[in-house]
Amino acid sequence: MRAFNITENDAGQRIDKFLSKAVKKLPKSLMYKYIRTKRIKLNRGRCQINTMLEEGDLLELYISDEFFDDDIDKNFLRASRTLDIIYEDGNILLVNKPCGIVVHEDSKNTVDTLINRILRYLYDKGEYDPVKENSFTPALCNRIDRNTGGIVIAAKNAITLRTMNQLIKNRLVDRRYLCLVQGQLPKESDEITAYHQVLGDENIVKITDNKVNNSKIMITRYNVLDYAGGVSLIEAELITGRKHQIRAHFAHIGSPLVGDRKYGDNALGDAMGINNQALYSYKLGFSLNGQGGDLSYLDGEVFESRWIWFTDKFEKYKNKAR
């Protein structure tokens, strides 16, 4: 028999969701059977699959030891300690992700990921210990591609993770991007619309002007900040959040990102010394409209990255173009 004392980080989720994290080797079919036959009990009594756990609950499992994994995963301790922290409090961590680092482990089982660096940082501070957690691990609330840099939000506790995910879903977290695109855009500022379709496992998307098959609408706003020698520095805002949206959308209108080999050519990037897509999630703002809950103190706050790797290259290019 094993017992779990439900903590604050475990509370607020259904029993089946908790068990899928805390007892990963237990098949769902057996989980449902054991709940039904009272081999899994809540506060010494019967429970249901959808029963919501509360802090202080006692969950007892009268099942075989083979379903429990006693090996605590501390693989994150192999990650680098290098971390550019923009902001931190007791609930969240805003980190400036450099280009070239993946946010989570990929098909190559990369250990030095952004989330593993964050876990190591919190472990070193004594704010996270996997031995003491039943079902929660600090997690990222947003993601950006390997070769895109910028601000990523990490939640330190379960309540914050749920709240922040809902705020992002409700479009109360404003994320702005800086990028360099080829050519001079027809308007200084605009809202552009197209349709977005992911092409299977090819890690590439197709953009069309009209809806086709299972395509979804894609909306991007932009402001031109500067222009020189066939290159525009722009600020982009995602109204929708689609895979590769900024890269694919500007390529679709004839202005691919400088350095983007997937959706454009890199001749201009080579001339500027830019080898990756010139794209950076540089600004993050909170307009919570009374929906922030425990994060309401962030309302009105705006955070910016201290350094965008391609802006100095643009300045040098602009000086040469004069």
Residue-wise pLDDT for 262-273, tens only, equals 999 888 899 899
The arithmetic mean of pLDDT across residues 168-192, rounded, is 95
- CATH (one of 3.40.50.2000, 3.40.50.300, 1.10.645.10, 3.30.2350.10) for 173-321: 3.30.2350.10
Q: Which two tokens stand for residue 302?
A: 């705006």
Confidence of residue 14 (pLDDT cuts 50, 70, 90): very high
The residue ranges of every structural domain in the chain are 2-67, 75-169, 173-321
The arithmetic mean of pLDDT across residues 298-316, rounded, is 93
- CATH (one of 1.10.10.370, 3.10.290.10, 1.20.210.10, 3.40.50.2300) for 2-67: 3.10.290.10
Longest CA–CA span in the chain (Å) reads 79
For residue 322, pLDDT beyond 80: no
Q: Pick from 143, 131, 137, 100: which is nearest to 118 by CA?
A: 137
Q: Which residues have a Cβ under 8 Å from the Cβ of 57 and sit 6 or more positions away? A: 5, 6, 11, 42, 43
Distance, in Å, from the CA atom of 38 to the CA atom of 33, rounded to the nearest integer, reads 8
DSSP H or E run through 165:
helix 158-169
Going by their DSSP bridges, the two strands 231-238 and 279-286 should be labelled as unpaired
* Local structure of 314: helix, strand or coil: helix
Confidence of residue 70 (pLDDT cuts 50, 70, 90): confident
The angle, 0 to 180 degrees and rounded to 10, between the axes of the packed helices 28-36 and 15-22 is 130
Q: Give tens-digit pLDDT for 203-257.
A: 889 999 999 988 999 999 999 999 999 999 999 999 998 999 999 999 999 999 9
Whole-number percent of the chain with pLDDT over 70:
99
Q: Using CB atoms within 10 A of its CB, is residue 112 exposed (0-12), middle (13-18) or buried (19+)?
A: middle
Distance, in Å, from the CA atom of 261 to the CA atom of 276, rounded to the nearest integer, reads 8
Per-residue pLDDT at 60: 96
Confidence of residue 299 (pLDDT cuts 50, 70, 90): very high
The arithmetic mean of pLDDT across residues 10-23, rounded, is 94
With contact defined as beta carbons under 8 Å apart, do 118 and 95 qualify? yes
Domain 75-169: CATH superfamily is Pseudouridine synthase (3.30.2350.10)
For residue 201, pLDDT beyond 80: no
For residue 200, pLDDT beyond 80: no
| Rg over CA atoms, the chain | 23
